[in-house]
Amino acid sequence: MWYLRILFDKEGGIDSDECEEISRPLNELIDKQDFIDKIDMLEIGTPGLSKKLRKPEHFVSCTGEKIRATVRDEKGKEVSIFGILSSYDGEKNEIVLDCDGETKTLSISECVKINSDL
């Protein structure tokens, strides 16, 4: 099956009314395109309250916001670390979190997942 997934986001998030407002004209535009017969499923939505952070621009745009980084402890168990994203270093591939006054530096490659945490 072929999917076309379009996600919208803005600072502060998007509510269901705004999603509907955006999706109507977009759906009409897509229906007029030649490639539409190749699409089995159209999904229009938002990344949600807990969007995944993967790309450099995701980390830059979430600086100053609450995030949750999931890492594995020495026994392999997943552990969540909550904090404010203080900074992102693309060269070192690291993020710095303020966890209630304690600074934690995490390598992005060692994180199982990183999400915004509203």
For the entire predicted model, the pTM comes to 0.64
Using alpha carbons only, how large is the chain's radius of gyration in Å? 18
The sign of the dihedral angle between the CA atoms of 54, 82, 106, 11 is positive
Q: Which amino acid is at 18?
A: E
H or E element, residue 86: strand 78-89
pLDDT digits (tens, 9 = 90+) for 38-86: 777 777 777 666 788 999 999 998 899 999 999 999 999 999 999 999 9
Architecture per CATH, domain 56-116, reads as Roll (2.30)
pLDDT digits (tens, 9 = 90+) for 9-34: 777 677 778 878 888 888 788 778 77
Tell me how far the alpha carbon of residue 1 is from its chain's centroid.
Answer: 24
As annotated, the residues of the chain forming the CATH 2.30.30.520 domain(s) are: 56-116
Classify the phi-psi angles of 93: left when phi > 0, otherwise alpha if psi is within -120 to 50, otherwise beta: left
